[in-house]
A = this chain, B = another copy of it.
Amino acid sequence: MPVVRPRPLSRVLLFSLVPVASWFILRPLLEPLPSIPALYSSIGFSIFAFLATIYLVPALGPTFIKARLSGRDLLKVYDSKIPREETLIPESLGLVCASIYILSLILFIPFAFTTPILEQINGKKPQQGITVVEFPHYQLSVYLSSLLSLLVATILGFLDDVFDIRWRHKLPIPIIASIPLLMVYYAEHGNTNVVVPLPLRFIFGTLINLGPLYYVYMSLLSTFSTNSINILAGINGSETSQALIIALSVILNDLLYLPWPIGFRIPLHLLGNHTELEFGGVWSAGMAHGSRELVERHLFSLYFMLPLVACRPHVLNCRYPARAFPGDTLCYVTGMAFAVVGIQAHFSKTLLLFFIPQIFNFLLSCPQLFGLVPCPRHRVPRFDADTNLLHPSKASEIQFPKPPTKLTTIVLHTLSLLGLTELVKDPNTGVITNSTNLTILNVFLLRFGPMNEKRLVQVLICSQVCIYITTVNCVGSLNPAFQIAGSLLAFFIRYGLAGLIYDGDRR
């Protein structure tokens, strides 16, 4: 295949978007004030982040190659006449995206507090009874602790790229990174109750107070979301597209809680649902039911998700054929961003629904992660250069170094019965001598047969959407917001996104 280079930013895009973005950023300073001034600035900063990403990623590629942060794409065939240096693809470019993302969030801080700042300057401190409304310190600490966790994730990801840290060394760090989040949650007397699922209510009642266990749950949530995208990486575009879908789902979910200036009704019955949702009016959006707190939480989530999606044009360079590798940095930061909004905006359980494919992949990987089955350094599918197809990869190159224990045998047989792995057995003794790697990508290849890299990412994305729709039908009654998000996503991805993530057929 030919050598590909990152794509530079077109000048037309640059000159047309800069004034638009500037207007959005400055909108909160212009009369008449919109009802949510900070949202305009957030959109403005996201557009700038978008421009900065598509300008800097191609521009900094050579710098990364010079600093030896580069590698060859192992799942491609290159013409042997092209020298090796020319086929090097810059790695860890997610660092650029992460830096732009975090810097734009930092620059946004003063704008997030436009309303209290303007009130202070104009001396119009709103008085309510005997209480003087002071600066919202609590919201500031929510914002700062979130940024802190994102920065720790960035550092961890980049260190992983540079030093290739062993996973048991890096496991505790997201837990430590989540301490500021938990501290802020505690300072607000955060809710530690969970709603008990219907079948268990006769034992535990409707609500159960987990107390300190809830903090453990949140801490593990950040560890999970940080690592789960990373272990589903390995083929061109898989990390970026997964993250993009989750981020868009979160944004859709947030939008349902916003105070829309006009009233409208979503015709849910067209999507096969019986409930109807009505929206409209400042502080009286459909899902927020007039709660200012709920609106503010989802605004917070939007402020973090909009620039995250904006830093995603990177997907243009990561998609098949990859012009740049995102590296662990991007996976870590994106995962942490999801954990942050899930915890701080109090929808961690909804968030987990968006992570179903990752949860499945993690559970499937457990036997390898915890040492029951041998785990090679990379578990990406095996590439057949002759046919340009991917095949399921094996856990050991030839066979397991020692015969599997009883527990391993039982686990592998169960997974094999479920069609999630393929076993190689000794024809004489019947002892398992090898198995395919336990990843969702290998499962696709087992079920649907060998396919090329581009098709495999498409299958991954479609499966994510299908799982959403299935979940929608199961838990729809619990969370209508999720339901709409899932349904709209299905249409959007099917018709809109596919072209964005994939080139024309240029395999």
Q: Which residues of A pack against B, CB within 8 Å?
A: 63, 67-69, 95, 99, 103, 106-107, 109-110, 113, 117, 120, 130, 135, 137-138, 140-141, 144-145, 147-148, 151-152, 154-155, 158-159, 162-163, 173, 176-177, 179-180, 183-184, 186-189
Closest Cβ of chain B to A68, distance in Å, is: 6
Between A and B, 15 residue pairs with Cβ closer than 8 Å are A67-B163, A68-B68, A106-B148, A107-B176, A110-B183, A113-B187, A117-B186, A120-B189, A137-B137, A140-B187, A141-B141, A144-B148, A144-B180, A147-B148, A154-B155
Closest Cβ of chain B to A72, distance in Å, is: 18
Q: How far is the CA of A58 from the CA of B147 in the complex (A)?
A: 32
Inter-chain contact B163/A113, CB cutoff 8 Å: no
Chain A interface secondary structure, helix, strand, loop or mixed? helix
Inter-chain contact B151/A155, CB cutoff 8 Å: yes
Number of this chain's copies in the assembly equals 2
Q: How far is the CA of A431 from the CA of B144 in the complex (A)?
A: 56
Per CB-CB distance, the 3 closest pairs between chain A and chain B, nearest first, are: A144-B144, A137-B137, A141-B141
Closest Cβ of chain B to A186, distance in Å, is: 8
Which residues in B have their C-beta under 8 angstroms from that of A184?
140, 144
Closest Cβ of chain B to A465, distance in Å, is: 35
Which residues in B have their C-beta under 8 angstroms from that of A137?
137-138, 140-141, 187
Closest Cβ of chain B to A146, distance in Å, is: 9
Which residues in B have their C-beta under 8 angstroms from that of A180?
106, 109, 144, 147
Q: How far is the CA of A130 from the CA of B130 in the complex (A)?
A: 10
Which residues in B have their C-beta under 8 angstroms from that of A130?
130
With A147-B148, A152-B151, A154-B155 as given contacts, are A107 and B138 in contact (CB-CB < 8 Å)?
Answer: no
Which residues in B have their C-beta under 8 angstroms from that of A154?
155
Which residues in B have their C-beta under 8 angstroms from that of A189?
120
Q: How far is the CA of A466 from the CA of B162 in the complex (A)?
A: 43
Q: How far is the CA of A145 from the CA of B159 in the complex (A)?
A: 23
Which residues in B have their C-beta under 8 angstroms from that of A69?
162
Beyond contacts A109-B179, A137-B141: 16 other A-B pairs, Cβ-Cβ < 8 A, are A63-B163, A95-B159, A103-B173, A106-B177, A107-B176, A110-B183, A113-B187, A117-B186, A137-B138, A137-B187, A140-B187, A148-B148, A151-B152, A151-B155, A155-B155, A158-B158
Inter-chain contact B103/A162, CB cutoff 8 Å: no
Inter-chain contact A135/B187, CB cutoff 8 Å: yes
Closest Cβ of chain B to A32, distance in Å, is: 25
Q: How far is the CA of A52 from the CA of B117 in the complex (A)?
A: 43
By beta carbon, the residue of chain B nearest A117 is B186
Inter-chain contact A109/B183, CB cutoff 8 Å: yes
By beta carbon, the residue of chain B nearest A99 is B155
By beta carbon, the residue of chain B nearest A131 is B131
By beta carbon, the residue of chain B nearest A108 is B179
Which residues in B have their C-beta under 8 angstroms from that of A67?
162-163
Which residues in B have their C-beta under 8 angstroms from that of A147?
148, 180
Inter-chain contact B179/A106, CB cutoff 8 Å: yes
Closest Cβ of chain B to A300, distance in Å, is: 15
